[in-house]
Structure 1
């Protein structure tokens, strides 16, 4: 099938992939331009990202690149690309979560960002950010790092009598980090510390510390810097988000996992919105974190889980200032993902001759006419196929024909 019933060629929906082609699909340059991937861990997809983001930075003035990685660890990467702090090896080892620092394509991205900034005025330098919470698949981080950093910032710049507690009190309530990071708590709520008396008191104190930060903004920005204040806000968002996440880890209701997924994406959304206050942002994450419709997942013995993604939340706030370009792919043969069936979106696009290109989703939906494709069944849990129903909710579609084995 290469035409619809009206004879419109599917090839006419595709064009070469570059920054100009992406922006031509949009009514204006968005404040947040998000690029999704259907699977993690494939450098071919990250190389496509690097090439596209480089063009958007150099030609369209984007000055922040944010990826799905720990927002606190990412501060070390940002210091490196902006100021040259630390070595490339050090920031790749300690500046990423989820094992993403081992990626050669991520390493090349950081190296290029540092080279781009060399010799530029600070106001024109490219910034890096992680926008995920400090959350791994098997556990959530202790709130210690974020809470202590927030407290330290405030203690250094506001009167002590404005603070709701002392550093010693926080340390006592936090206790050993192991009580927070217990991997068994992900599947056994009884192993979570999130509803202990100490955790409940910490939630109140964290809220009060964030309130002090907000109330003292007119003093804190000139006394420190906008960057320093922004980081303190990040610490506050992360501390309150982690404490909320741990609270729901201890929940025993059927909605527990849905709550956790929603909290994670809400943390991502708040980080993206804060970055967008600083200027235009390029974001990169899994398609499911960036799409406008509700995200879904099947996990263990749970029924289908549904929650609003970070992209849906940001889109609700920014409207046309948010754009989402999804990525679909044909094969990942070393993962058992072979040639897509011809009656799927991926199968139709796989029949076109180019190796990678940009598709106009609106034109593709029109070309498909009254015979919509079926959903592709993923043979590997780590790859999520494109839902045909989502075509009208994305602004652009990058198609990569084959992901070669490394």
Structure 2
């Protein structure tokens, strides 16, 4: 096999691997919640912000909650404890590395004018494959923003009546039983039409980013609840596809405002289809990275060992095993010289997804971390893969 070009783990080395500087630079991870990987991300993202002009950092977290984090780092609103508790989803607020990232972003902005601030954003919508939020928060915020207009299609009271109790929307049983979902009720259908009408009125506010985020999120949530009520076998495919399509929409919007750094699971950022085995069988859908048309680079992360999860030295005929022979603890490299015919690695733990060798042609650069050792707050065993 040809010798692999190896580079130190710094932003300049990473950008040197790419043919052009992308508007969206996406760093993936094969497992959630590992502090070693998050600390490496922080180091690289800090350099890319300070030295290379990136001005937004987006994580795989709820896009509405993330507004609390952005307010904190740009204006000092709220305490660090508050934003870590309420500004993240997926338990990401418990991560020491994520806390360090927020603290650094606030310190970075304190000494700079608003035009040079770095911003924080959530890539994800207010749902997971285990639950979905009520559309109340984004719909109410959208209606409030438009309250001064005379041609609103409904009153706030009408919205409130149609929404009803939030627990009718958030019933966790609805994820596996479509008959428990409110998503195809007469009220939900009416809300979808009203959301469309309210969104149309935003044409009078083209430069207001947050109302547009609320409109996109309300639309996406109502669409998601609609497919939660679908009794056909296509149901979970639709839901997974909607999640990544929403991520792609958020990513595209962020990229129109400033160069973006993204961190999420490899499966969301890859250009290939994503797959997952769920309770009703395998599901396959196009990832957010495959749907992104803006200038985009995908840096996948592969790891050698994860001992505390039972992931030991990789077999030598796998992609991870081939890279494990390097003496470097971590480095960037180009995947161009790696064969796609290597044996796919299997994982004894569902929370870690080895990198598929067949995906190498769609990867712009590779971060290889030889050994990932346990630090604080490992991801709970019940946490979803993505």
TM-score clears 0.5: yes
Structure 2: give runs of 5+ residues left out of the alignment: 376-386
2:183 corresponding residue in structure 1: 194
Residue 173 (structure 1) aligned to one of 162, 173, 182 = 162
Q: Which consecutive segments of 4 or more residues in structure 1 shift more than 6 A? A: none
**Does residue 131 of the first structure (1) align with residue 120 of the second (2)?**
no
1:306 corresponding residue in structure 2: 284
> For residues 278-293 of structure 1, what are the structure 2 equivalents within 5 Å?
278-293=257-272
Q: 1:133 touches 1:264 (CA, 8 Å); kept in 2?
A: yes
**Does residue 357 of the first structure (1) align with residue 335 of the second (2)?**
no
Residue 218 (structure 2) aligned to one of 230, 235, 239 = 239
Deviations 1:35-81 (A, max 9, x none): 00001011111011000001100110100000000000000000001
**Does residue 327 of the first structure (1) align with residue 297 of the second (2)?**
no
Q: Aligned residue pairs: how many?
A: 375
Q: 1:13 touches 1:364 (CA, 8 Å); kept in 2?
A: no
Structure with the larger helix share: 1
Tell me by how many angstroms 1:30 deviates.
0.6
**TM-score under structure 1 normalisation?**
0.91
Structure 1: give runs of 5+ residues left out of the alignment: none
1:296 match: secondary structure: strand
- Partners of 1:80 and 1:29 lie apart in 2 by 29
- Partners of 2:5 and 2:311 lie apart in 1 by 25
1:376 corresponding residue in structure 2: 345
1:404 corresponding residue in structure 2: 373
Q: 1:39 touches 1:286 (CA, 8 Å); kept in 2?
A: yes
- Partners of 2:114 and 2:223 lie apart in 1 by 36
1:74 corresponding residue in structure 2: 66
Residue 112 (structure 2) aligned to one of 120, 123, 142 = 120
Tell me by how many angstroms 1:137 deviates.
3.4
2:25 corresponding residue in structure 1: 33
Deviations 1:330-362 (A, max 9, x none): 111111111111110001111111110112111
Q: 1:179 touches 1:193 (CA, 8 Å); kept in 2?
A: yes
Tell me by how many angstroms 1:18 deviates.
1.1
Tell me by how many angstroms 1:115 deviates.
0.5
- Partners of 1:399 and 1:145 lie apart in 2 by 40
Tell me by how many angstroms 1:24 deviates.
1.0
Look at both structures and tell me which one has the larger radius of gyration over its CA atoms.
Answer: 1
- Partners of 2:370 and 2:288 lie apart in 1 by 27
